[in-house]
Amino acid sequence: MRITKLHGLAILVTAGITGAIWYHHPFSPSRDQEHAASPAGDSGLKTDLHETSLMLPWRQDVLVLTPWLAPIVWEGTFSRDILNAQYLQKNLVTGVVTFAVEKYVQFIEGFMTSANKYFLAGHQVNFYLFTDSPEKVSHLQMAPENHLFVIPVQNGSRWQDISRCRMRIISSHIQKQFQHEVDYLYSMDINVQLLAHIGVEIIDALVATISSWQVTSQQENKAHGTRPEPQGDFHYTASFYGGSVSEVHKLTTACFRGLGEDRENGIEAWGHHERHLNKYLLQHKPTRLLSPEYYWDTELSPSVIHVKRMCSVHRDSQRCSCQS
């Protein structure tokens, strides 16, 4: 990952800001007090736990803190047992939104099977599957705490319409449904498989996943294609993001409007939805970043990746590109 001057400054001061990390954790008592006094306090989690801290001993090989003091989650920087104990006390429900239209219907079973096993295992999760072929969704055995909701949706005639409609659908369903059913909401691509546990360490008000291209060398990037250029400190993938319901509503609404303005101005290109996601997150800094462990979309394998938790799936083989 390219280290800027700001990144270097963040690394230098990490020894003196463990308290800042603890503050940024959603179970933090001090953060809870702030949200309790704030009109937008629904994204804060109230807790009576006043001990332990989020981070384990610092990893020295990766950036674990952003210049704006948001934690970056890597393997070895958290204790899932501690977080699970705190999360379970809150009786929270997390939602996952995914879309399977046209040829992407083929990925439903692989995605749902792996997500049912690895995504917030042991906690309540609502999976919202939007598809233009609900009749093709076979019966899937879900864990007792998980629920699958299949929601019919019309497919757009063009990929540009699909990207724009995805943001609109998430935004509108938050208003009429999701806000009454879940506390946190995450958007995930359907053509992925989970390979390892993704737990409550991802929970925060506004969460983004760093693109895997940012932890690879320039030579590797050139060998595998065009590298996305960061609009700010990081480049985030649109394949996995989320947060509190209220924050995700703000994000998807802004992206949908931006995509609509682009269309009116005749600006349409592949990846525009991701560009608008990054534009929003540049102006509204994420409160937590997930390392590329949480979405690995290439066959690149730098040593800093200790666990590949979720990977893209080859369309032909329906296997993760990074699966051994």
Domains for the chain: give ranges and CATH numbers: 67-312 (3.90.550.10)
SS3 call for 94 = strand
Q: How far is CA 159 from CA 142, 192, 316, in A?
A: 31, 19, 20
Kind plus residue range of the DSSP H or E element containing 79: none
Enumerate residues 6+ apart whose C-beta is below 8 A from 263: 160, 164
CA dihedral 201, 203, 206, 208 (to 10 degrees): 40
Structure tokens at 31: 């953060």
Low-confidence ranges of the chain (pLDDT < 70): 1-58, 155-163, 214-232, 262-272, 297-302, 314-324
Q: What is the structure's pLDDT at 11?
A: 47
Annotated binding site for UDP-N-acetyl-alpha-D-galactosamine: 99-101, 104
Annotated binding site: 99-101, 104, 189, 274, 297
Q: What is the structure's pLDDT at 165?
A: 84
Q: What is the structure's pLDDT at 285?
A: 97
Q: What is the structure's pLDDT at 2?
A: 52
**Beta-bridge partner residues of 43:** none
Q: Rounded CA gap, 77 and 72, in Å?
A: 9
Q: What is the structure's pLDDT at 139?
A: 80
Q: What is the structure's pLDDT at 42?
A: 42
Whether residue 229 lies in the annotated active site? no
Apex CA 264: angle with CA 170 and CA 258, to 5°? 40
SS3 call for 127 = strand
Q: What is the structure's pLDDT at 260?
A: 73
Annotated binding site for Mn(2+): 189
CB 243 within 8 A of CB 209: no
- Which residue of the set 75, 201, 247, 274 is catalytic? 274
Q: What is the structure's pLDDT at 108?
A: 95
Q: How far apart are the first and last CA of the chain?
A: 24
**Beta-bridge partner residues of 34:** none
Structure tokens at 15: 């020894």
Q: Rounded CA gap, 44 and 206, in Å?
A: 11
Q: What is the structure's pLDDT at 14?
A: 44
Q: What is the structure's pLDDT at 61?
A: 87
Apex CA 172: angle with CA 167 and CA 174, to 5°? 100
